[in-house]
Structure 1
Amino acid sequence: MRWQEHCQYEGYLVLNTEFYSGAVIRLATLQKKRNYAGHLLFATVSLLPRGRPLPPPMEGLHRCPIGKTDETVFFRRVLLSVQEAIDWYRALGSGDDKSPIPSRHEERNSQYDGVKIEISKLIDDPSWPYLGLPVGEGMFAHLSGRNHPAPFIGNSPARIHRRFGSQDGFDLMLADNKAVDFVARRLHVDLRLYREYLGSITLVAPDPVLKQIDNFMIPASADRGERIFYRFVPRAGESLAGLKITTFDEQGHLLTDFNTQEIPANGILDIDKGDCIGTYGYVVAHQQHGVLAYSPPSSFLRQMNFSMHIGPEESKKVSVPTGESANSPRMEYLAAQRSTLASQHLMGDGPRIPNVNARIANAAARREKIANAKQYGQRWFPDGSREEAIRFIQSELRRAKNRVMIADPYLAGLQLGQFLYAVNPETISVTLLSSALAFKSKGQGLSKTDDFSQRLTQLEKDAKVTAKAYVLQSSILHDRFLVIDDTVWFLGNSLNTLGDKASLIVKLPNPDEIIDQLEDMLKQAISFVDYEKHQTKDKDAGS
């Protein structure tokens, strides 16, 4: 089925191919030596607007071996007609998938083109042939990880369609920095950060009408207030007919204006605002193509402070030991430069009227901090709040659904009774990671190793909780962590002293990294059973 004649229906963005002159396919595959067919890693099909020349063809392909494994990443870029590119894009996932064949015979290479590739079942997002416009965040917004939901589109506005495939089988590639960088340079996306695109392909349809949008504030003059200026530049051979802009103003978290108007034929809009002390966004839509551009509400930069300092020509190097040991290796760093202020200039004017935005923003920022602290479980236990701290940890352990891991270099027998009877033995796996520091005995009586062993046995007998305990014999773990399902708590103090003195615990925003590191440490540890045997042998040898 061909899609040339289709346009916008009821506000949806639908692909219209007649405004494009060609397509560039960038394809990365992952191949194992023992397999003939490569597996789709990521690919883009980028349509080229009319009037834009085709890039030169690529000769051969690029490859990047993954470390010492039997895997290799291959990359090839080919040029196709619009319809051939879309036909190839839509046919993927059929079970008889092959790499694209360039439209021009002289650019084809039978060694690389039309060869079998493995592709999983693909899921359309959105439904074909509808497109989506990537929505980012404002220039001054906090980084949230979605600032560039489709980084591979570049700087020009573009709509996209995505076909998501299986993410399995790429672990070795993602662990190799060289391979990740190899793909990022050619496909303009870091697949370690944007893992949703693993095993997937996307269609990129650049704005077919607009080449550029300029948007800035014009300061007030003696006879006129502040204005917002828009300039729309069409692509070669295109007009601005049928374009509309919807502007929306926000001030103090209030929507203060929402207006739609046609864009003049000359592409210039000069809108009186009086005073631009709020944030301003816009959407540009075409009667045939749908939404072409979106800019989230952002404030205008009014003032810039330029300062020039005169400092010493060279910074002093400081050499320091990296540890307390007399044989500790040394390192160097540059001391801070002492400089003299030579000049300072403030460019631009502040708002002409009192601006309460800063007041509102500061109050909102404070509420956001409180909300974030609550989200991440930030909890301060003052000096002398030991029982409160114990009860809090117990309550969190009761919430566990599938696993608990305690990583604490000073975890000993007493903490097993203080905390682990709160764990549900029917559904929870318990892993304990301690260190030899926890079992150094002092004074007479039962050794800490024997005490830990007895309490483990008692825990299993009384509460039916079977805990797998491991011991690090080297002091590679300093901080303390409590893993409950997929949440990781960072503990300022060990569980044996939490709350005795002022202590802080907090949930970590990226638990996956910590869990991976702790699991690597488990591989370096020995089971407590083996540790206990070694201790017994050493004790018998000493006696």
Structure 2
Amino acid sequence: MEGAPQRFRVGKTDETIFFRRALLSVQDAVDWYRSLGSGEDTTPIPSRAKERDSRYDGIRIETTSLNDSPTWPHLGLPMEEGMFAFNSGRSHPAPFIGNAPARIHCRFGSQDGFDLMLADDKAVAFVARRLHIDLRLYREYLGSVVLVAPDPVLTQIDNFMIPASADKGERIFYRFVPRPEVSLGGLKLTTFDEEAHLLTDFSTYDIPTDGILDIDKGDCIGSYGYVVTHPEHGVLACSPPYPFVRQIGFNSHAISSGGMTVSIPTSESANSPRIEYQAAPHSSFSTQSLIGEAARIPSVSGRIATAAAYREKISSAKQYGQRWFSDGSREEAIRFIQGELRRAKAKIMIVDPYLAGLQLGQFLYAVNPETVLVTLLTSGLAFKEMKQNASKDRFGKRVKENPGLHSKKYEPSKIDDFSKRLTQLKKDAKVNAKTYVLQSAILHDRFLVIDDAVWFLGNSLNTLGEKASLIVKLPNPDEVIDQIEGMLRQAIPFDNYRQHHAKFQRDNA
């Protein structure tokens, strides 16, 4: 039982996070949990009278309405993914329960009002150290409450394979360890075997009172999972199908000491700062060893897993819109982008430091002006011309320098052309594109935002497909959209940019 609550002030705001532990009996804890969301909510009151403090216990708190998941009084068992399964990002649906067997019940409330807390790294870390959860990653728990119920029967489950002997085949051994003075009576084990992505066995066994179960499988070349159930408490434990590890390989290397330190500038600039790093050490010799024995009969699981992984890559590429345009496929690239823009429902953002007037006509007439807001972010690079430098030799004769060296100056005709095409687009297609220009060279990559999706473009829209190019839909678009919106705040409206350079031209005429 703790004393005064721990506090953390969020940034320079008036928001404060409070944390305090209180010891409640099981019934008191459940009653308090179920009472939340009633409109008369208070902080919990410890069950022991000597641990109560009127300054902190029974204090009125404000909560939103709460929705049960699952339906009360059912409890849910957090399920992890298989050992070799594709990581979907939900491997630990309830990281706060730790390693102890437990089930949970959730009551989800409003997520509004947590923006300042989530933007403060120290505030997020304060919560994570105490609740063992990063609320930036697990935002579903914002404004919510969770009941964690430890396993009422089991403290441990051992599960391993016993090698074959002269008179027995390979066996799977289970040992169930109960809590002190708790009986294993009524517990059942349901096993499910998988081989070559096929369900090959589904069996249910009564768990003996001594907790030992030895199942003869003959040969364990597949993957094996199980579920443990209790007649009163329901599901107590679950394990996805895992294969048994039969062999472990070790590689030993003798590494030479005193690796070289490399010092290198961070860029081509003459005043560029330098960084240092250690070169990879060299191995003078290496050995390999293998511990364990292979299966008695060959398994095709590896072959099937390789083929499944290949299909998964193809599916993932399709999901994220990975698209390769070969050299000379400019028209194909243009028509593809036009098709994606035509599907937009709410917003389009084109972020390209070389976006110029011609691309407005190539792409934006495909946009539905009645429902879609169009934002363009380009840079001063789009309105500069490339001109070869010239110098004089020692005799005063003008000569061309390296054609790869260029000077850059603004070309008014490009700015005027862009302005005319924006006006024509608005007149002909009713598309009013809000356009901004970055004056500093802070943007290199190109992005196309369509509703909530972000495409990464290997080339600018003015050259996409002229040479071999790749585009791909990003798996985490929110981060990129946030960064783009930050750059928009640094940019200036195109009309202001055009007026500034028109004035500059007049003043220097």
Partner residue of 2:453 out of 487, 502, 510: 487
SS in 2 for 1:79: coil
- What is the distance in 1 between the residues matched to 2:150 and 2:422? 63
TM-score by length of 2: 0.93
What residue is the counterpart of 2:344 in the other structure? 400
* Matched letter for residue 148 of structure 1: H
Partner of residue 157, structure 2: 213
Q: Is the 8 A contact 1:151 1:189 kept in 2?
A: yes
Measured in 2, the distance between the counterparts of 1:301 and 1:177 equals: 40
Partner of 1:176: 120
Which whole-Å CA distance do the structure 2 matches of 1:445 and 1:283 have between them?
72
The residue number in structure 1 matching 2:418 is 452
Secondary structure at 1:325's aligned position in 2?
A: coil
* 2:332 is aligned with 1:388: yes
What TM-score does the superposition give when structure 1 sets the normalisation length? 0.87
> Partner of 1:320 in structure 2?
264
Q: Deviations over 1:480-519 (max 9, x none)?
A: 1000000111100000000000000111111111111111
**Out of 471, 487, 492, which is 1:505 matched to?**
471
**Are the aligned partners of 1:409 and 1:433 in contact in 2 as well (CA < 8 Å)?**
yes
List gaps (5 residues or longer) in structure 1: 1-56
From 352, 355, 375, the equivalent of 1:431 is 375
Residue pairs, 1:409-420, within 5 angstroms: 409-420=353-364
Instruction: List structure 1 segments (4+ residues) > 6 angstroms apart after TM superposition.
Output: none
Confirm or deny that 1:349 pairs with 2:293: yes
Q: 1:496 aligns with which of 426, 443, 462?
A: 462
The answer to which of 375-384 and 330-339 deviates more is 330-339
Q: Secondary structure at the match of 1:411?
A: coil
Q: Which amino acid letter does the alignment assign opposite residue 416 of structure 1?
A: L
Question: Which of 437, 448, 455 is equivalent to 1:471?
Answer: 437
Post-superposition CA distance 1:228-270 (Å, at most 9, x none): 1111000111111110000000001111000001011111111
Q: Partners in 1 of 2:487 and 2:169 — Cα distance?
A: 64
In the other structure, the counterpart of 1:260 is 204
For 2:214 and 2:162, how far apart are their aligned partners in 1?
9
- Is 1:334 equivalent to 2:278 in the alignment? yes
User: Cα deviation per residue 1:361-387 (whole Å; 9 max; x = unaligned)?
Assistant: 111111111111111111100000000
Partner SS for 1:130: coil
1:307–1:341 Cα contact (<8 Å) kept:
no
| Pairing 1:14-413 to 2, within 5 Å after superposition | 57-413=1-357
Cα distance between partner residues in 2 of 1:317 and 1:99: 58
Q: Is the 8 A contact 1:163 1:200 kept in 2?
A: yes
> Which structure 2 segments of 5+ residues have no match?
388-409
Aligned-residue offset at 1:82: 1.4
Letter in structure 2 aligned against 1:542: N
Distance 2:244 2:285 in 1: 28
Of residues 533-542 and 301-310 in structure 1, the stretch that sits farther from structure 2 once superposed is: 301-310
Question: Is 2:353–2:377's contact at 8 Å kept on the other side of the alignment?
Answer: yes
Q: Could you report, residue by residue, the CA deviation over 1:401-459 in whole angstroms, capped at 9, with x for unpaired residues?
A: 00000001111111000000000000000000111111113589861111111110000
* Larger gyration radius, structure 1 or structure 2: 2
SS at match of 1:447: helix
SS at match of 2:328: coil
Task: Give identity over the alignment, percent.
Answer: 71
Give, as a single letter, the amino acid of the residue that structure 2 aligns with 1:233: V
Contact 1:441 1:447 in 2 (8 A): no
SS of 1:77's equivalent in the other structure is coil
Secondary structure of 2:385 counterpart: coil
Q: 1: distance between equivalents of 2:166 and 2:233?
A: 42
Size of the aligned set, in residue pairs, is: 487
**How far 1:342 moved relative to its partner?**
4.9
* AA at the equivalent of 1:475: A
CA distance in 1 between counterparts of 2:54 and 2:495 reads 60
Task: Return the letter of the residue paired with 2:66.
Answer: L
Q: Match for 1:539: what amino acid?
A: Q
SS class of match (1:416): helix
Q: Displacement, 1:110?
A: 2.4
CA contact (8 A) 1:247 1:282 kept: yes
Amino acid at match of 1:316: M
Secondary structure of the 1:97 match is coil
- Report which stretch shifted further, 442-451 or 190-199: 442-451
Of 313-322 and 115-124, the range deviating more from structure 2? 313-322
345-354 or 231-240, larger mean C-alpha shift = 345-354
Query: Residues 161-193 of structure 1, C-alpha deviation per residue, up to 9 Å, x if partnerless?
Result: 110001111111111121111111111111000
Cα distance between partner residues in 2 of 1:314 and 1:270: 54
Q: Which amino acid aligns with 1:351?
A: A
Q: Which amino acid aligns with 2:339?
A: S
Q: What does residue 532 of structure 1 align with? A: 498
1:314 Cα deviation (Å)? 3.8
Output the CA distance in 1 between the equivalents of 2:385 and 2:500.
Answer: 15
CA distance in 2, matches of 1:184, 1:442: 53
Amino acid in the other structure paired with 2:343:
R
Counterpart in the other structure of 2:397 = none
Amino acid paired to 1:102: P
Q: Give SS of 1:89's match.
A: helix
Q: 313-322 or 175-184: which moved more? A: 313-322
